[in-house]
Amino acid sequence: MRRIAMLASVAAAGLLLSACGGGSAVEDANPSEASGSVGVFTWWADGSEKVGLDALVDIFSEQYPNLKFDNLAVAGGAGSQAKSVLAANLKSGNPPDSFQAHAGAELQDYIAADQLEDLTSFYEEAKLNEAFPKDLLDRLTVDGKIYSVPSNIHRANVVWANVDVLKKAGLDPAKPAADLDAWFADMDKIKESGATPLAVAGTWTQVQLFENILLASLGAEGYNGLWDGTTDWASADVTKAIENYKKALSYTNSDRDTLSDWGPATQLVEDGAAAYNVMGDWAEAKFSQDGKKPGEDYVYFPTPGTDGVFDFLADSFTLPKDAPNADGSKAWLTTISSVDGQQAFNAAKGSIPARTDVPADKFGEYQKSAIEDFSSDTIVSSLAHGAAVPVAWLNELSTAVSKFGGPQDVAALQDSAASIAKKFQQ
């Protein structure tokens, strides 16, 4: 009996000591000494995204053989399921070692809830301030601090067009329109030739079209001003922009709300039923999977009026506070921001690296042109993909845009958008 009591007290003392030992400060976390497992939470559970994640995990295992990658992926379109699971985990004090989030305003809620570690010092250690373009760093910085590391960059202001449909309407596929008015004139020609000029799908794709029209009508500065308060939503410029959007909608397919996500709209262009589709560059992966050749079957160009502007969205990884294995998390962040990691991941996923010093030879034709544009263009944040505004703002604006699709009341949309902006800019 006495022995058992002694053993029990020794065990208890041992446990007490181990509790004191944990919780090293994040700044001291040294990735090269890390061991154990790293739980990474994403929504990359299928398709090209899973392929990309697997490629990244291979590089991670090479760079850090002592660490084991723990895949906590949750399936479900654009992370809608994953985000609720993540919110529950964070709230209950059970954060993963790293989680995926769209870079930019979507992180604001996590930052305000004090759930993320500041990564500014990590950026300095890993010399990322030189590797990422300055515009991107500006977009990622909140109150002078950076909270996430982007793994890949997508572009949201690309038009995908069907070569045959353009030729049939008498247009030159190699010479896209220079601005919105010229583009609408081209769309008139396509309408006369019998095809649908512009293909669009449900609410979020309409919001993406809306942001492209806003960008084309207001320019990069005017567009940025909509979200930070320097552009007045009630101004005449915005009225003109919304009227341009109304005009664009008049060229679209009437069954847009019934299309299941973005794929069927891009498919219309692929099949030759429609001429143009404004979609992010994940459409490139779809075209190449279906065996279409750029230049022959389809062409791509920045949305007319947005040439020289890169409307970005990025997947990025964060370091949650009280992560179980902070060393391991930093190792993961080092991998995804390294040249090899970004090369492997983006070549598989079809996006482009955030670093400007990744050699472009392993990437496809579209990606090469996008990499060039990314390093020279003005970078703005995408509205529809969580970079420009927080989720609640995006949701309400999406409702207003969806409502606009029916009666197409310009004044109503402008008023709604203005009051929503006012509500969230406080």
Partner 1 sequence: MFKKVKTWGPALALISPTLVLLAVFVYALIAENVRISMTNQHTARPSSDFVGMENYFRLFGDADFQHALRNLLLLTVVFLAGTLVFGFLWAWILERPAFGEGFFRSVYLFPMAVSFIASGVVWRWLLSSLQTDQSGGERTTGLNRLLDSVGLGFLQNSWWSDPNWGIAAIAVPAIWQLSGYVMALFLAGFRGIPEELREAARIDGCSEWKLYRHVIFPQLSPVMLSAVIIIGHMSLKLFDLIRAIVPDANTYDIQVPATMMWVKYIGSDYADSAAIGTIMLVLVALVVVPYLIYTSRQEKR
Output 58 or 164, the one with its CB closest to partner 1: 164
Q: Is 237 strand, coil or helix? A: helix
Please identify which residue in 253, 318, 335, 382 interacts with partner 1, judged by CB under 8 A.
253
Surface-to-core class of residue 247, CB atoms within 10 Å of its CB (0-12 exposed, 13-18 middle, 19+ buried): middle
Which residue in the set 24, 37, 141, 395 belongs to the binding site for partner 1 (CB under 8 A)?
395
Produce one character per residue of 344-378: b if its CB has 16 or more CB atoms within 10 Å, e if not: bbbbbbbbbbbbeebeeeebeebbebbbebbeebe
Residues with Cβ within 8 Å of residue 259, at least 6 apart in sequence: 201, 202, 253, 265
Binding of residue 68 to partner 1 (CB under 8 A): no
Question: Using the rule CB under 8 A, which residue among 44, 64, 83, 155 binds partner 1?
Answer: 83
Q: Is 84 in the site for partner 1 (CB under 8 A)?
A: yes
- What span, in angstroms and rounded, lies between the C-alpha atoms of 66 and 30? 13
SS3 content of the chain, % helix, strand, coil (to 5): 55, 15, 30
* CA separation, residue 339 to residues 153, 335, 357, 390 (Å): 14, 8, 7, 30
Beta-bridge mates of residue 145: 142
Binding pattern for the stretch 86-105 against partner 1, x by CB under 8 A and - elsewhere: -x------------------
Task: Choose one: 129-137, 146-154, 215-223, 395-403; the region binding partner 1 (CB under 8 A).
Answer: 395-403
Using CA atoms, how far residue 333 sits from 84, 122, 353, 412, in Å, is 23, 9, 14, 45
Nearer to partner 1, 64 or 204 (CB): 204
Q: Which of 107, 112, 36, 171 is nearest to 315 (CA)?
A: 107
Contact with partner 1 (CB under 8 A): which of 27, 221, 232, 255?
A: 255
Among 272, 307, 402, 410, binds partner 1 (CB under 8 A): 402
Least distance CB 255 / partner 1 (angstroms)? 4
- State the Cα–Cα distance between residues 280 and 159, nearest whole angstrom: 8
Residue whose CB is less far from partner 1, 63 or 398: 398
Closest separation in Å from C-beta 414 to partner 1:
15
Exactly one of 51, 273, 410, 418 binds partner 1 (CB under 8 A); that residue is: 273
- What does the alpha-carbon distance between residue 41 and residue 337 come to, in Å, rounded to a whole number? 17
**64: amino acid identity, one letter:** Y
* 174 to 213: interface string for partner 1, x by CB under 8 A: -----------------x---xx----xxxx---------
Q: Does 261 bind partner 1 (CB under 8 A)?
A: yes
259 binds partner 1 (CB under 8 A): yes
Q: Tokens 């009051």, residue?
A: 419
The yes or no reply on residue 407 touching partner 1 (CB under 8 A) is: yes
Residues engaged in binding partner 1 (CB under 8 A): 80, 83-84, 87, 109-110, 112-113, 191, 195-196, 201-204, 253-255, 257-261, 268, 273-274, 390-392, 394-396, 398-399, 402-403, 405-407
